[in-house]
């Protein structure tokens, strides 16, 4: 794989993993937004559509919480109709109650929705234990996800935060609390250092750590860029304190909900943090939603690009190997005449006993009596050795017919793969990548669509309960319903049977009619395949498609081209005491095909 492409993919990966949890300033703006949108609205339902995600349907809005540690986030969107299947309901005792207010703590990332019955649901929007809790009269009595080690531990953590901070539903009060905390932190820092003119000689990374210790709630994603812009190399303590105050001022008075070109998000205005803006939003929820959606898209792009590169590299290498094999077959064709001549010469010695030496030097009367060295098997007679050379000559001539057809096709395929690789290196968008894959699949340059994994196989319920999805249940039911010893599909009206294993191959053979066509990949283990003749002779297209199924269901499925033998079933028989699946075949013919996954045609 081209190392420059690998590095480029890695850079995309770095961007796609730039997701950060909701910071304290975003949470305050979210508190303000939710108070406007949700107050006095009725709670209809709380559900989990998939693992680690919970949705609260309130009025005409849906509050969606991604409780995925270590970067949980929450936002509100307009109500899309909730799924009615494969979901789990939570806290049904709250349904029908109205929202009284949205609450936040002055220094911790807890967000609460208090309902008319006096109950509150709390979002823990930080750390490795992100969760949603149900609080009744100062006690946590239930949770969205199972708590580790238990709910009491989570309650202890929550109560400590409640004691150390002040509850508020006002963004003004919450911002004022941050201002006071900054002033107090700066005063303590000055006392410790005895002088606010002391210069701090730290690397940018270490200076960032000091700033975060002085102001834990500060937005950290772009802090190093701001340090480079506004602080000297060795700033005085007073300059550091003023810098923190200015950052706080920008975030409270001039915040802009920005998605940047580099894929990150920020609340700093462009005038203060001059990084290129991709989009500005009217609310923090819109920013969080678009940011996470963009990252998911980039994550899928990254995975699909890496998989496409790997698949393309594999197809290219396989095609090169097959071209080399065909070139060898061409060389063997040149030797075919010589092997046939050796067979004729050895047949003239059929009256002799076995050869005494592994190499015999003779005069080749087919070529003006030039000297020829013939390799022999001294355990075989001259006739058997002659037959061995006749067979080699026959195989070489027979394979040459396929080579003449395949060689130009493989060269075209290799050229198309190299062109596809070049065009892939210019793609940087998931839509273009999907179109590229579709085009490559239509041309047959990639074998199969990538498997798309479902995220909805399990939904995690309260108290650790697990609900299986319909997808899993259907798969289980379909597995139980299969009783035939073979898989079956239809090709141009002909029924195709494909054995499941060695024993089912035997059973299938016993069920087949004598005029059915039997197929198997040549010289490798694999499934037996039967074309049900039904008093009709299948044409060449049917045989080739069935042969491609046999190639796919064999040990040679990774090869580009596979020889497959076929013959009427009446010429296939089981030897006495033979191993399961082992048969004796007569009057077989050979067809060269590309492996193809069995399907109806």
pLDDT digits (tens, 9 = 90+) for 415-443: 999 999 999 989 888 888 888 988 888 88
Let me know how long the chain is. 601
Quote the CA–CA distance of 29 and 35 in Å, as a whole number. 10
Task: Work out the burial of residue 556: count CB atoms within 10 Å of its CB; fewer than 13 is exposed, 13-18 middle, 19 or more buried.
Answer: buried
- Residue 461 has a pLDDT of 33
- Residue 176 has a pLDDT of 92
Q: Percent of the chain beyond pLDDT 70?
A: 85
Quote the CA–CA distance of 74 and 30 in Å, as a whole number. 9
395-401 average pLDDT score = 70
> pTM of the entire structure?
0.57
3 state DSSP class of 61: strand
Strand partners, 88: 48
Confidence category of residue 5, pLDDT binned at 50, 70, 90: very low
DSSP H or E run through 487: strand 486-491
Confidence category of residue 333, pLDDT binned at 50, 70, 90: low
Quote the CA–CA distance of 103 and 114 in Å, as a whole number. 7
- Give the tens place of pLDDT for each residue, 536-564: 888 888 999 999 999 999 988 888 888 89
> Of 257, 265, 261, 303, which Cα lies nearest the Cα of 282?
257
- Residue 481 has a pLDDT of 39
Kindly tell me if the per-residue pLDDT of 20 is higher than 90: no
Which CATH number among 3.40.50.1820, 3.60.70.12, 2.30.310.10, 3.40.190.10 corresponds to the domain 12-169? Answer: 2.30.310.10
Strand partners, 373: 361
- Residue 158 has a pLDDT of 93
- Residue 318 has a pLDDT of 86
- Residue 80 has a pLDDT of 66
- Residue 148 has a pLDDT of 67
Quote the CA–CA distance of 407 and 189 in Å, as a whole number. 78
Kindly tell me if the per-residue pLDDT of 349 is higher than 60: yes
- Give the tens place of pLDDT for each residue, 269-289: 999 999 999 999 999 999 999
379-383 average pLDDT score = 89
Quote the CA–CA distance of 239 and 51 in Å, as a whole number. 46
Task: Work out the burial of residue 70: count CB atoms within 10 Å of its CB; fewer than 13 is exposed, 13-18 middle, 19 or more buried.
Answer: exposed
DSSP H or E run through 174: helix 171-193
Kindly tell me if the per-residue pLDDT of 193 is higher than 80: no
Packing angle between helix 171-193 and helix 237-253, nearest 10 degrees?
A: 180
Measured CA to CA in angstroms, residue 120 lies from 40, 104, 111, 152, 278 at distances of 14, 12, 10, 17, 37
3 state DSSP class of 121: strand
Lookup: tokens for 200: 């701090």
Confidence category of residue 367, pLDDT binned at 50, 70, 90: confident
Pick the residue with more confidence: 16 or 194?
Answer: 194
217-243 average pLDDT score = 89
Task: Work out the burial of residue 129: count CB atoms within 10 Å of its CB; fewer than 13 is exposed, 13-18 middle, 19 or more buried.
Answer: middle
Other beta carbons within 10 Å of 601: 16
> Of 574, 435, 428, which Cα lies nearest the Cα of 510?
574
Measured CA to CA in angstroms, residue 502 lies from 177, 414, 561, 574, 584 at distances of 74, 36, 24, 12, 14
Pick the residue with more confidence: 348 or 31?
Answer: 31
Q: Where are the domains of the chain?
A: 12-169, 174-282, 293-442, 484-593
- Residue 438 has a pLDDT of 87
Confidence category of residue 408, pLDDT binned at 50, 70, 90: confident
Residues 21 and 72 sit within 8 Å (Cβ to Cβ): yes
Residues 255 and 267 sit within 8 Å (Cβ to Cβ): yes
Lookup: tokens for 103: 């609450």
Pick the residue with more confidence: 337 or 360?
Answer: 360
Mean pLDDT of all residues in the chain? 83
Of 119-123, 152-156, 206-210, 443-447, the one with minimum mean pLDDT is 443-447
Kindly tell me if the per-residue pLDDT of 449 is higher than 70: no
Q: Percent of the chain beyond pLDDT 90?
A: 36
Kindly tell me if the per-residue pLDDT of 179 is higher than 70: yes
């Amino acid at each position: 794989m081209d190392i420059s492409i690998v590095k480029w993919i890695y850079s995309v990966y770095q961007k796609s993993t730039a997701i950060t949890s909701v910071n304290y300033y975003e949470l305050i703006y979210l508190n303000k937004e939710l108070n406007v949108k949700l107050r006095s609205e009725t709670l209809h339902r709380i559900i989990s559509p998939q693992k680690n995600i919970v949705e609260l349907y309130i009025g005409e809005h849906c509050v969606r919480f991604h409780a995925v540690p270590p970067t949980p986030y929450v936002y509100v969107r307009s109500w899309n109709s909730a799924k009615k299947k494969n979901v789990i309901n939570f806290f049904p005792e709250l349904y029908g109650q109205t929202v009284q207010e949205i609450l936040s703590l002055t220094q911790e990332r807890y967000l609460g929705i208090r309902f008319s019955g006096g109950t509150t649901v709390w979002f823990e929007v930080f750390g490795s234990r992100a969760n949603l809790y149900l609080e009744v009269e100062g006690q946590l009595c239930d949770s969205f996800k199972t708590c580790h080690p238990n709910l009491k531990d989570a309650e202890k953590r929550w109560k400590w935060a409640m004691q150390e901070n002040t509850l508020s539903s006002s963004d003004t009060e919450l911002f004022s609390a941050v201002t006071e905390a900054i002033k107090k932190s700066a005063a303590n820092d000055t006392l410790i250092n005895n002088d606010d003119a002391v210069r701090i000689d730290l690397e940018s990374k270490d200076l960032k750590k000091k700033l975060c210790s002085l102001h834990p709630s500060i937005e950290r994603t772009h802090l190093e860029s701001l340090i480079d812009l506004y602080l000297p190399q060795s700033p005085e303590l007073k300059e550091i304190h003023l810098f923190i105050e200015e950052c706080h001022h920008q975030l409270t008075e001039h915040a802009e909900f920005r998605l940047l070109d580099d894929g990150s998000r920020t609340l700093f205005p462009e005038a203060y943090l001059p990084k290129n803006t991709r989009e500005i939003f009217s609310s923090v929820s819109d920013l969080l939603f678009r940011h996470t959606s963009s990252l998911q898209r980039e994550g899928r792009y990254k995975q699909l690009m890496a998989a496409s590169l790997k698949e393309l590299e594999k197809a290219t290498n396989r095609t090169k190997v097959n071209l080399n094999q065909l070139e060898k077959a061409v060389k063997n064709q040149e030797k075919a005449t010589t092997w046939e001549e050796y067979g004729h010469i050895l047949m003239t010695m059929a009256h002799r006993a076995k050869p005494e030496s592994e190499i015999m030097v003779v005069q080749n009367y087919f070529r003006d009596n030039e000297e020829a060295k013939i390799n022999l098997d001294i355990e075989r007679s001259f006739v058997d050795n002659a037959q061995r050379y006749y067979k080699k000559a026959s195989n070489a001539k027979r394979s040459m017919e396929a080579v003449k057809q395949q060689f130009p096709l493989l060269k075209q395929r290799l050229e198309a793969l190299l062109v596809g690789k070049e065009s892939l290196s210019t793609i940087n968008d998931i839509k273009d990548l999907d179109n590229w894959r579709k085009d490559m699949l239509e041309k047959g340059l990639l074998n199969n669509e990538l498997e798309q994994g479902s995220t909805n196989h399990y939904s995690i319920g309260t108290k650790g309960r697990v609900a299986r999805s319909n997808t899993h249940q259907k798969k289980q039911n379909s597995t139980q319903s299969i009783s035939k010893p073979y898989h079956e599909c239809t090709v141009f009206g002909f029924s195709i049977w494909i054995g499941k294993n060695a024993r089912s191959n035997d059973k299938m053979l016993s069920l087949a009619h004598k005029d059915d066509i039997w197929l198997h990949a040549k010289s490798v283990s694999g499934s037996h395949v039967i074309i049900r003749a039904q008093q009709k002779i299948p044409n060449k297209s049917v045989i080739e498609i069935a042969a491609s199924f046999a190639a796919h269901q064999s040990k040679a499925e990774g090869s580009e081209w596979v020889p497959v033998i076929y013959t009427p079933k009446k010429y296939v028989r089981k030897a006495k005491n033979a191993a399961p699946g082992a048969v004796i075949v007569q009057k077989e013919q050979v067809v060269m095909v590309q492996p193809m996954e069995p399907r109806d045609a």
